[in-house]
Amino acid sequence: MTTLLAFLATLGILIVVHELGHYAAARWAGVRILHFSVGFGRPLWKRTDRRGTVWALATIPLGGYVRFLDEREAPVADNEKDQAFNRQPLGKRAVIVAAGPIANFILAIVLLWGLNLHGYSTLRPVLASAPAGTPAAMAGLQGGDWVLGLNGTPIDNWQTLAEGLLATNKTDARLEIEDANGHLREVVLPSDSLQMAAQGSEPLRALGLIPGHPTLPPVIGSVVADGPAAQAGLQARDRVLAVNAEPVPNWQTLVHHIRQTTQGDLTLTIERAGQPLTLRVTPQFVSERGQRLARIGVTPHMDPVILERMRTVHQDGPVEGMVHAIERTWDLSIFSLRMMGRMLMGEVSVKNLSGPISIADYAGQSAQAGWIPFVGFLALISISLGVLNLLPIPMLDGGHLLYYLLEWIGGKPVPDRIQELAQRVGIALLLTLMTFALYNDLARLLAT
């Protein structure tokens, strides 16, 4: 239910903001607005305001539209022709069309600004041991290494590391590393390894760059209500000494023993208030990355000192926060365009395309993690929507802006026949992209 509600909230906010951009620009230009709809299909609710605009909420929430008075769609009375969209100067028409994507960028800037003012924490890029044979392992990266920089640019979280590596195309990636003992060194990941990793759906994992965790004692921090551990009687602050008589020196070993279980109960020897105790736990089994894994529903106790080393906190003042929000929106927009270009060139796999199922999943995960991750996710999707709509593809806002550019260059509108043919090409292209995205969604869903 959380996933569904988060997905609907995401769509609703982004669609309303986008269409309000068109609406506000049309009002400014003096264009009469006939219809404002969130969603497509049969209306679930609608009302008409004093200006004659019909506001509607429709059954299919995958988009929305604003319909203007336009002589190309229906006859317009002589006394209203000055309010028709098609009668507006080229500049005003372009502003109305561009206002939707611009509204999405403004929303992202406002959301990121709010996060910068409030402050938020992110995980530092501390690495786990790289799997044998991966580029990271061959380059000498080790568990506990901390990535400080990439090609001279400071790196303080996993997201900026991922973006930086994906943006690195035909050059080597030079990582500035601090090891667990505080020693600095430089590690190089060859460009051919980066290009090969970009062909998969999980480039960082293909490179061998996996989030690491500090060595933790096998002490339970919290127990999931009604989970296997709770039903067996495990409590917070219990120290696990052994699993099926196998010693457990740290939390990672505990997780390993639990995940290697294929069937049957687990016998846990624990220490509680200085006294040994034996409990039997019946694990739950889940599918993850195509594997059947056991879980018992516990989280580790985190030492605040260790936790502080693993995370970094960002917080800005009003002016600095706005500047950083604008810079971040710009950087993510350029990054999105570069990735789309590399995808078209075959340098990045189309497996990276995500559709509504993945977006709903990410929305649910971010909402469950708290309002700060959800706001960050919403800003990211708003930027993506703005960039997508500005692409020069017929059916999208960018396609209309392309027509206006050609009209400005040629001095006359693009012929209707050419626009009609372009619309068909645009529909085919969008359907192809949607098919790839949906296929990727289903492949990820079936893999888990």
CB 124 within 8 A of CB 312: yes
Q: How far apart are CA 10 and CA 2, in angstroms?
A: 12
3-state secondary structure of 284: strand
Burial group, residue 210, by CB count within 10 angstroms (0-12, 13-18, 19+): middle
* Catalytic positions: 19
Phi, psi angles (nearest 5°) of residue 216: -110, 145
Work out the number of other CB atoms within 10 angstroms of the CB of residue 186: 9
12 φ/ψ angles, rounded to the nearest 5 degrees: -60, -45
Compute the CA torsion angle 328, 329, 330, 333 (nearest 10 deg): 120
Q: How far apart are CA 89 and CA 12, in angstroms?
A: 32
Q: Which of 434, 397, 399 is nearest to 414 (CA)?
A: 399
